[in-house]
Structure 1
Amino acid sequence: MTMQRNGFKKNLNIRLDENPPINGLDNFKRNLEKDFYSKVLVRSCSCTDGGGNLVISVECPLVLGELLFHLEKGNWGNEVSKENIGRNGSSLAHRISELRMENEIAIEIEELNFQLKDSTLVIKRIFPQSIEKELHQILEALIKHYIHFTKGLNKAVYEIFIPVFEEEFTKKLPKADTDPEILRQTYLRYWGLYFDSEEDAVIYDLSRRSFISGDLHMLNH
């Protein structure tokens, strides 16, 4: 699926349930709100069968630059803290592990999105438990690359979609899905960005720290 001006979220073919029948969901939500100092909405989606696949929306009263400042200082979410990662994993990983222990069904985070005052960050699952396992690396990369993809803070980004894929890679995705080591790197390969100054989405290549042209696709479960 190519990326159009109307935004990534409008292209997602998933149906959301506001009241998923999952034990411990209220406590899970409250704990995330404390961790991220934000309002949190947790819904389930019907994109796969046989489990509880969650879409988590974190509504944070900060602009992106402020969020990255607090992330770097370790004052928000504890997701980039090496001490925290080494001891217990990310706070999200800890919370979702607690939730899984209260339920007999498989529970996956299908999508995690951060709705900020000036922008939205959307992270999609690419292999089992990929979001909670890789979130700290994604946020570290966001801190590192923010100055580059905003052209020294001169371009305002209003949506970031992680990851996007080369068309040839998406054709091989079912086979690649058996090897998380391969897929893990795709979170830090290409991101899709929307800027106020651009008509369509642009692709940011993290390895080159530059924008590229080409037909890339977002992952649509």
Structure 2
Amino acid sequence: MRSKQNTNTNSKSAISKGYQDINGLKLFKKQLEKHFFGEAIIRPDTDKKDSKYNLTINLNCNFSLTEGLILLNSGDWGGFCENSAKLEHSGFELSVLNLQKENNNKVVFEEIAIHFKDTSLFITKIPNQNITDHLCTILNAISENFVHFTKGLTEMPYEIFIPVFEATTENDSSTSCAKPKMKTSYFDYWGMYFQSEIDQDSLVYDLKSKTIIDGDFFILTKE
């Protein structure tokens, strides 16, 4: 069961205003495209409640997930070079830090979506954690779990949602509703959609057991 925020992609004025308000965003976009070898689309939206800049990033890569992981493991993709362990920050982390510095740490990354030729990754912010702090570890976890969630390399999910939350059901006298049982980690459950699973709306990949299980899931979105 999917629960995602609707985004008005036709609001040119909102996007234009966002770019005017956020310092260094155009440079950050160019750096993302350099790090990830693709086209970056950034949709800024100012949260008037706390004066934060909430960003949704879409990265379009003209290669497969497998090719991306090969590049990642060789240190050539994503700005996460192997030698970064010897440095204080990787190239990607420096890009994020510079953007935050120019905007008094008011930038919040709500979602980073990476679209490959064969699948799309949707990585959503969870409470008290930043996507950018975990992106390298998440991508490495995808590489480590690749054989398992592709059913022994037999089928690629066409969408992967990271993380997802277990759906629980609460009953009262008049109605029954499903609510998310909150998790605080990117490494418990991921949501998967497969073309072959015509009778199953969604599947869940359990990282701890390295198995695909049945079950509805929720994706945390900003209210």
Q: Does the 8 Å CA contact 2:202/2:216 hold for their aligned counterparts?
A: no
- Alignment-derived partner of residue 12 in structure 1: 5
- Alignment-derived partner of residue 75 in structure 2: 74
Equivalent-residue separation in structure 2 for 1:151 and 1:172 (angstroms): 26
Equivalent-residue separation in structure 2 for 1:115 and 1:77 (angstroms): 14
Q: Does 1:126 align with 2:94?
A: no
1:23-38 matches, cutoff 5 A: 23-38=23-38
Change (3 A) 1:148 1:123: same
- Report how far residue 46 of structure 1 moved: 5.7
- Report how far residue 43 of structure 1 moved: 1.0
Equivalent-residue separation in structure 2 for 1:97 and 1:163 (angstroms): 24
Q: Does the 8 Å CA contact 1:14/1:46 hold for their aligned counterparts?
A: no
Equivalent-residue separation in structure 2 for 1:37 and 1:15 (angstroms): 26
- Report how far residue 134 of structure 1 moved: 0.7
Q: Does the 8 Å CA contact 1:190/1:206 hold for their aligned counterparts?
A: yes
Higher relative contact order (CA 8 A, sep 6+): 1
- Alignment-derived partner of residue 159 in structure 1: 159
**Counterpart amino acid of residue 83 in structure 2:** E
Deviations 1:154-173 (A, max 9, x none): 112111110001235x7675
Equivalent-residue separation in structure 2 for 1:161 and 1:47 (angstroms): 24
Equivalent-residue separation in structure 1 for 2:90 and 2:7 (angstroms): 27
Instruction: Report the 3-state secondary structure (helix = DSSP H, G, I; strand = E; otherwise coil) of the residue aligned with 1:219.
Output: coil
Change (3 A) 1:28 1:215: same
- Alignment-derived partner of residue 111 in structure 1: 111
Structure whose residues are more often helix by fraction: 1
Q: Does the 8 Å CA contact 2:180/2:218 hold for their aligned counterparts?
A: no
Q: Does the 8 Å CA contact 2:167/2:181 hold for their aligned counterparts?
A: no
Larger radius of gyration: 2
Change (3 A) 1:91 1:150: same
- Alignment-derived partner of residue 191 in structure 1: 190
Of stretches 206-215 and 82-91 in structure 1, the one that deviates more from structure 2 is: 82-91
Q: Does the 8 Å CA contact 2:166/2:181 hold for their aligned counterparts?
A: no
Equivalent-residue separation in structure 1 for 2:105 and 2:197 (angstroms): 43
- Report how far residue 72 of structure 1 moved: 1.2
TM-score by length of 2: 0.81
Change (3 A) 1:105 1:205: closer
Over the aligned positions, Cα root-mean-square deviation in angstroms equals: 2.3
Q: How many residues align?
A: 202
**Counterpart amino acid of residue 111 in structure 1:** E
Of stretches 152-161 and 42-51 in structure 1, the one that deviates more from structure 2 is: 42-51
Q: Does 1:218 align with 2:219?
A: yes
Q: Does the 8 Å CA contact 1:15/1:46 hold for their aligned counterparts?
A: no
Q: Does the 8 Å CA contact 2:163/2:190 hold for their aligned counterparts?
A: yes
Instruction: Report the 3-state secondary structure (helix = DSSP H, G, I; strand = E; otherwise coil) of the residue aligned with 1:101.
Output: helix
Equivalent-residue separation in structure 2 for 1:56 and 1:132 (angstroms): 11
Change (3 A) 1:113 1:171: closer
- Report how far residue 68 of structure 1 moved: 1.0
- Report how far residue 93 of structure 1 moved: 2.6
**Counterpart amino acid of residue 154 in structure 2:** N
Instruction: Report the 3-state secondary structure (helix = DSSP H, G, I; strand = E; otherwise coil) of the residue aligned with 1:100.
Output: helix
Equivalent-residue separation in structure 2 for 1:86 and 1:109 (angstroms): 26
**Counterpart amino acid of residue 13 in structure 1:** N
Instruction: Report the 3-state secondary structure (helix = DSSP H, G, I; strand = E; otherwise coil) of the residue aligned with 1:157.
Output: coil
> Structure 1 regions of 5+ residues with no counterpart?
174-181
Instruction: Report the 3-state secondary structure (helix = DSSP H, G, I; strand = E; otherwise coil) of the residue aligned with 2:145.
Output: helix
Equivalent-residue separation in structure 2 for 1:77 and 1:191 (angstroms): 21
